[in-house]
Amino acid sequence: MATYEAVIGLEVHVQLRTARKMFCRDLARFGDAPNTNVCPVCLGLPGALPVVNGDAVNLALRAAIALNCTIHEVSLFSRKNYFYPDLPKGYQISQFDRPLATGGHLDVPADDGGRPVRVRIRRLHLEEDAGKSLHDRLAGATAVDLNRAGVPLAEIVSEPDLRSPAQARAYLQLLKQLLEYAEVSDCNMEEGSLRVDANVSIREPAESELGVKTEVKNMNSFSGVEHALAFEIERQSAILDAGGTVVHETMLWDAGRQQARPMRSKEESHDYRYFPDPDLPPLVVSREQIEAVRIALPELPYARRERLRERYGLPALDAGVLTASRWVADYYEALVRLVPDAKAASNWVMGPVLQSVNDRKLALRDCEDFPVSAAALAELIGLVSDGTVSHSVGRDVFQKMLDTRRSASDIVTAGGLSQVRDSGQLAEWVEAVLAENPREVERYRAGEAKLLAHFMGQVMRKSRGKADPHQVTELLRERLA
């Protein structure tokens, strides 16, 4: 079997964070009753005229600036003609030959840990979304919900610079992070706020010409994109190994079966019969408007990562984890303002906080959504650092805080969880443990110093985690000397 090089380009559709649709005043809100957010404009009724949503334009400008694109002061809306049940007008308003922005880039970590791979952005353009076909509402029939029709999108098209499914996933994760930080979109894939189409072809490693590409659709997670690309690369490789020819077509990814199946022949731009929309004038953005958007752009992830390292002396690993999500970074910065030890604050966020998010499958969009506020966690960290409770007890208290939303001090007081520092009680526990482990005492005195941890664990178990570990360590060393 020959070894082939994969060539991957991604088309990412991002729902812009606006209250209204792209060309009308209907709400662009997820979850409303079907076909309630519709009007003559998004239904394409005769005589209805579209008007551009200025908020959507500004959000697209934010995305273009964050992606280092060249923004064009004049761009055009065109009609992309095709017929499908969820497209009421029979065409989609999009940008074709004169998009809003071109020529950006995003640097993605290499698979081998080497120099980052620069993925070029071919174009970023504005368009409206189509409706949604529903195949599970009516037995034996397809229903259509047009609430999404007209929702504002920015489509971000990369050059074919990606070379592996893992690299494609890393690109998408970085892109999502950037768009969230820039407040362009919530990027919620479950609600369709971020959707990905992948173009993939393969070729001999020494070849410069691109192979025949296919487009893979219907991927609703980054892991789904990675699996779909791996499947399609393997499928194309098997075709070429057998002497066949890859067909230029659109594939539909079936996550349940973990396979892609042909959907239709791949369309080209001429198939859509693009022409300028006669109802919309050219979109003009001034240099002053672009600069105003640039100045208002929030701090982006790479800048925040470096600031956290410099201001708080955090290791690169900590800064990377803490800034991977904007809400986590916000939570950490709210916490570190209340906790003197920046590394201790980092450890608690990277440990118990993120572990609880994963274990409980919490869907958080803002740091205020987390059940334990930064102020509440700061109080708990203070109780641990001043020795009121041990670290292990502190983690148990944290779990109770998640469940009950009570303060750490209330939980510690009600449960009698404060560390025991009474030397008489500590000595009693130590003597009892040594008496129960005579052989281990002999081995320790014979030179097995690592057994100190064993005695320590026994004392903490006997005290139910309440013994002051520092005092216990000193007492054990004294008794064992």
pLDDT tens for each residue of the chain, 481 residues long: 568 999 999 999 999 999 999 999 999 999 999 999 999 999 999 999 999 999 999 999 999 999 999 999 999 999 999 888 899 999 999 999 999 999 999 999 877 777 899 999 999 999 999 999 887 777 778 899 999 999 999 999 999 999 999 999 999 999 999 999 999 999 998 899 999 999 999 999 888 899 999 999 988 899 999 999 999 999 999 999 999 999 999 999 988 889 888 887 766 767 889 999 999 999 999 999 999 999 999 999 999 999 999 999 999 999 999 999 999 999 999 999 999 999 999 999 999 999 999 998 887 777 788 999 999 999 999 999 988 888 888 999 999 999 999 999 999 888 877 776 767 887 888 888 888 888 888 888 888 888 888 888 888 887 777 777 778 788 888 888 7
Q: How many helices (H) and strands (E) does the chain have?
A: 17, 16
**DSSP line for 57-121:** HHHHHHHHHHTTPEEPSEE--EEEE---TT-TTSEEEE--SS-SEEEEEEEE--TTSSSPEEEEE
Distance separating alpha carbons of residues 420 and 67, to the nearest angstrom: 56
pLDDT at residue 137, as a whole number? 77
Distance separating alpha carbons of residues 210 and 228, to the nearest angstrom: 20
Distance separating alpha carbons of residues 15 and 29, to the nearest angstrom: 11
Distance separating alpha carbons of residues 149 and 429, to the nearest angstrom: 70
**What DSSP element (H or E) covers 470?**
helix 469-480
Distance separating alpha carbons of residues 354 and 359, to the nearest angstrom: 9
pLDDT digits (tens, 9 = 90+) for 7-41: 999 999 999 999 999 999 999 999 999 999 999 99
Distance separating alpha carbons of residues 374 and 336, to the nearest angstrom: 9
Query: Rounded to the nearest 10 degrees, what angle do helices 451-462 and 438-445 cross at?
Result: 150
Give which of 165, 158, 225 is closest to 195, Cα–Cα.
Answer: 225
pLDDT at residue 348, as a whole number? 97
Half-sphere exposure of 454 (CA within 13 A, CB side): 14
pLDDT at residue 1, as a whole number? 56
pLDDT at residue 445, as a whole number? 85
pLDDT at residue 133, as a whole number? 87
Query: Cβ of 453: how many Cβ atoms within 10 Å?
Result: 10
pTM: 0.85
| Cα 37 to chain centroid, rounded | 28
